[in-house]
Amino acid sequence: MKSDVRDELNLPDLNQVGFVVRDLDAALALYAPMFGPFTTLEPGPMRYHYRGQEEACDMLLAFGRSGDVEIELIQWVSGGCPHKEFLDAGREGMHHLRFTVEDLEGAVSDAGHIGYTSIWGKRYGAGLAVAYLERRGDPLLIEFFENHRGG
């Protein structure tokens, strides 16, 4: 019998479900009655560590809620990233589950022991970092988010 990934990695409850969409405005019209109101963000191009190299990526983002769970809508704009891979594979919809962790590097290392590989991430500064992880045969990514800055 397979072990429970959340137990094995000592993960808290998930706090975000991320969806990749082709058209953010259309997705907002569709999902605002369910998860709105949404806050939108256009962060502009940012550099991430992506599959072994630095890559610029630009996305449009929107954030809503379902109880304690944040709903993130992501429209890819440019650059290499897991979101573009998802769209290129003909997919749209649920993309990742986010878990907030105390130590990003430690959580990524622990996940590696059970078949996950970090494919995309960034350390924004002390106490603030993100990593997306994949495992073979599973189209759903997990996101580890370290946030000691609050918010």
Mean pLDDT, the chain, whole residue set: 94
What pLDDT shows up at residue 151? Answer: 60
* CB atoms near residue 104 (< 10 Å): 21
Output the pTM of the full model.
0.93
pLDDT one-digit tens code per residue, 50-74: 999 999 999 999 999 999 999 999 9
Residue 4 included in any domain: no
Q: Which domain holds residue 79?
A: 14-147
CATH number, residue 120? 3.10.180.10
What pLDDT shows up at residue 2? Answer: 53
Residue 39 included in any domain: yes
Report residue 33: phi and psi, to 5°: -65, -20
CA–chain centroid gap for 41, Å, is: 15
Query: Looking at beta carbons, which pairs linking 111-114 to residues 24 or more positions away fall under 8 Å?
Result: 111/9, 111/142, 111/144, 114/3, 114/5, 114/8, 114/9
Handedness of CA 16, 75, 36, 138 (dihedral sign): negative
The residue that leads in pLDDT, 76 or 151, is 76
pLDDT one-digit tens code per residue, 1-29: 456 888 888 899 999 999 999 999 999 99
Residue 9 included in any domain: no
